[in-house]
Amino acid sequence: MIGNLLRADFLKIKRKGLWFLAFLGPFGVIALQMVNYGVRKDYLLNQSDDDWGYFLEYVHSFTPLALVLGIAILTSFMASIENETNAWKQLISLPVSKMSVYLSKFMVLGSLLFVSSLLLGVFSLGYGILLNLGDQIPYLELLKYSFYPYLAALPVLALQLWISSVSQNQGIPITTGVLGVIFAYSAFILPDWMIWKWPSLMNEWDEPLINVMLGIGVGTLLYIVGMLDFTRRDVK
């Protein structure tokens, strides 16, 4: 059943520009570094012996922002597909459980963001090689900087999906989305428990893996709570 729902959901996002956004996010992050390194490459390469690490740190400074913004935009697009003509009622009156409808939406968004993260890794690698940062390519670090923020951002995804699929007024998810972006921007000064800080991979123990674990754990929890709430409610 979930396979069929997924195939249907992927068909529905056709021509909505979601795939383009999934490409635009990581491209934008790397484009900023293209400007950065384009303008002052020599200066930046002098700053550290580990050119790759230094480059990846710079890339990562914009990843959380792009990720949280991307989540807000993708979830509201996703919900708008069903909200536009209130297709929820048509979808839910098909022989499917509401839980699998919700799961399918989450999985589609998860896949889009996964592709974004993958592209971020590929673009980072590509531009890094183009910059001639050295033969010692730190593949492991590259993977970490691409996928850790994604996993740490799962609670934000679960929260945004929950809010946008149960809100009658789409102003609410957009507001929380904008607030999330502001939070992600000010991750430096946020306390560790705020989910919007997690994609920055910062915490007081300086251990990114904690954010990843928290992201998966709290993300799962928020997903379950959102799904149960969605199931419990009457369809508009």
The verdict on 86 binding other proteins (CB under 8 A) reads: yes
Instruction: Name residues whose C-beta falls within 8 Å of residue 150's C-beta, 6 or more positions apart in sequence.
Output: 67, 113, 114, 116, 117, 199
Question: Cβ of residue 164: shortest distance to other proteins, in angstroms?
Answer: 17
Tell me the one-letter amino acid at 84: E
In whole angstroms, what is the distance from residue 105 CA to residue 125 CA? Answer: 31
Q: Decide if residue 220 touches other proteins (CB under 8 A).
A: no
Stretch that binds other proteins, among 26-34, 95-103, 142-150, 180-188 (CB under 8 A): 95-103
Member of 20, 40, 87, 137 binding other proteins (CB under 8 A): 87
Cα separation, 189 vs 196, whole angstroms: 11
Amino acid identity of residue 163, one-letter, is I
Judged by DSSP in three states, 136 sits in coil
Which range binds other proteins by CB under 8 A, 93-101, 110-118, 195-203, 217-225? 93-101
Decide: 87 and 81 in contact? Cβ < 8 Å: yes
Residues 96-125 interacting with other proteins (rule: CB under 8 A): 96-97
Q: Considering beta carbons, is residue 32 or 81 the nearer one to other proteins?
A: 81
Nearest distance from C-beta of residue 104 to other proteins, angstroms: 9
Would you give the binding string for other proteins spanning residues 40-79, x where CB under 8 A is met? ----------------------------------------
Q: Which stretch binds other proteins (CB under 8 A): 6-14, 26-34, 48-56, 61-69?
A: 6-14
Q: Rule CB under 8 A: is residue 15 a binding residue for other proteins?
A: yes
Q: How far is the CB of 222 from other proteins (least distance, A)?
A: 24
Q: Which of 89, 130, 139, 179 binds other proteins (CB under 8 A)?
A: 89
Q: How far is the CB of 225 from other proteins (least distance, A)?
A: 19
Positions in the binding site for other proteins (CB under 8 A):
4-5, 7-8, 11-12, 14-16, 81, 84-97, 234-235
